[in-house]
Structure 1
């Protein structure tokens, strides 16, 4: 029997075929999960094209900055999944380009608010709405994506690093509060991947090359490795794991430089 046979998953944050969210979707689908994707209006075409590659996948518009759109997305999810949900994937992050280009000390109030709202608060907003649907299934799994810059200085990651630190802290508090309902909340800290978001960070290519040289496995990771880790966290194989940040970075995080 497949690991996720009969499970229902809602994925936020797919932008194109390079997205980590898409890699996770493929891994979940390979083990029998029924999927739903959300998309921002500007990404509708790309997300729907990807959804068509996995039979039975449905899509809804949603910008996580707006509570009414989140409410509508969950209402549609409840309609499609009969009020039940097993898996929530949060692969959402954004900061204005200027906040990643200018020195961190020049971070603006508006830029800080935008980065923290979209990249961190949205996890809380989504978890709050997912929880009742997961309780109807006797529990569930929530997975988000983070990065080592939450712990160490990565030049030009700037306010996004602060947002990832907030996301990881939120993961622990959500895990504590939702644990009594058998809802597990974890984060995956992925190594540098060539995604749309990563391309907006100055010096990304150089850092990716350096990571491959320093990491114990002497290589960079692939999107599919993050997808399969999410599959593990969303399955009963990880039923005793919650509140954790699991590194998938070829071991880079254990090195001193």
Structure 2
């Protein structure tokens, strides 16, 4: 199975420990050409060397809070490539004060921002990708078990990820007629920079590692291998799914 000749856009690389980087590395290993984004000038020194190591054809800034930047990324893809075969949305954000508190205490502004960056941005990406996927394609996002089960300290992001999974199903139904598949990957706890903002994350990680049937958790390369399968032709009949890669942790009771 190969991704030779396919072109993909990867959102969400922050550093070498990012889930998105694990995905990009797997895509490149299988022969795909990549476009990669970085958040801002502060993040660029961490991301650009990784993108260059992967021979990324396109490297662009993307702060989803800045109007026009996401359109600029897709405009460059359209100009240089003319088409797009797949994209990975590995982006999530919540104001720290809302993330660390109770859901019932979350602010309107914080909840709205988390929903916009973590969920609706995937919808916006799908809308921009659709005309570039006239021969079909694959859209993949990243979720978490907290979307369907109460995970201590995950708080407001649980409902946000639940909305993201619902959007995945609805977009799969809407875009399926054009041969565009939409799936979510739900990894277990992985030690990334984003995860470090979750209260008591190390405790959650240790507990999951002890309880999971395989006795080890997935890493970013495990997620990347699954993503490479989902964007490839071998997964051409798979859409609207939430695919777990967590050592089996999700099959256990609460």
TM-score range, shorter chain: over 0.9
Determine the structure 2 residue equivalent to 1:195: 192
Q: Determine whether 1:175 maps to 2:172.
A: yes
In the TM superposition, residue 55 of structure 1 has moved relative to its aligned partner by: 2.0
What is the root-mean-square deviation of aligned Cα atoms in Å?
Answer: 1.0
Structure 1 stretches of 4+ moved >3 Å:
none
Q: Write the deviation string for residues 180-232 of structure 1: whole angstroms up to 9, x where unpaired.
A: 00000000000000001100001100110110111110111111000000000
SS at match of 2:22: helix
1:65–1:122 Cα contact (<8 Å) kept: no
Determine the structure 1 residue equivalent to 2:241: 244
Determine the structure 2 residue equivalent to 1:48: 48
1:211–1:252 Cα contact (<8 Å) kept: yes
Determine the structure 2 residue equivalent to 1:162: 159
Q: Which runs of 5+ in 2 are unaligned?
A: none
Alignment TM-score, normalising by the size of structure 2: 0.97
In the TM superposition, residue 67 of structure 1 has moved relative to its aligned partner by: 4.2
Of residues 48-57 and 246-255 in structure 1, the stretch that sits farther from structure 2 once superposed is 48-57
State the alpha-carbon separation in 2 of the partners of residues 116 and 101 from structure 1: 16
Distance 1:208 1:56, change over 3 A: closer
State the alpha-carbon separation in 2 of the partners of residues 229 and 66 from structure 1: 31
Determine the structure 2 residue equivalent to 1:79: 79
Determine the structure 1 residue equivalent to 2:17: 18
SS at match of 1:65: coil
State the alpha-carbon separation in 1 of the partners of residues 179 and 65 from structure 2: 28
Q: Which runs of 5+ in 1 are unaligned?
A: none
In the TM superposition, residue 80 of structure 1 has moved relative to its aligned partner by: 2.1
In the TM superposition, residue 39 of structure 1 has moved relative to its aligned partner by: 1.4
State the alpha-carbon separation in 2 of the partners of residues 223 and 245 from structure 1: 17
State the alpha-carbon separation in 1 of the partners of residues 31 and 69 from structure 2: 28
State the alpha-carbon separation in 1 of the partners of residues 119 and 56 from structure 2: 30
In the TM superposition, residue 56 of structure 1 has moved relative to its aligned partner by: 4.1
In the TM superposition, 1:117-156 aligns within 5 A as 117-135=116-134, 138-156=135-153
Distance 1:224 1:111, change over 3 A: same
State the alpha-carbon separation in 2 of the partners of residues 111 and 80 from structure 1: 37
SS at match of 2:68: helix
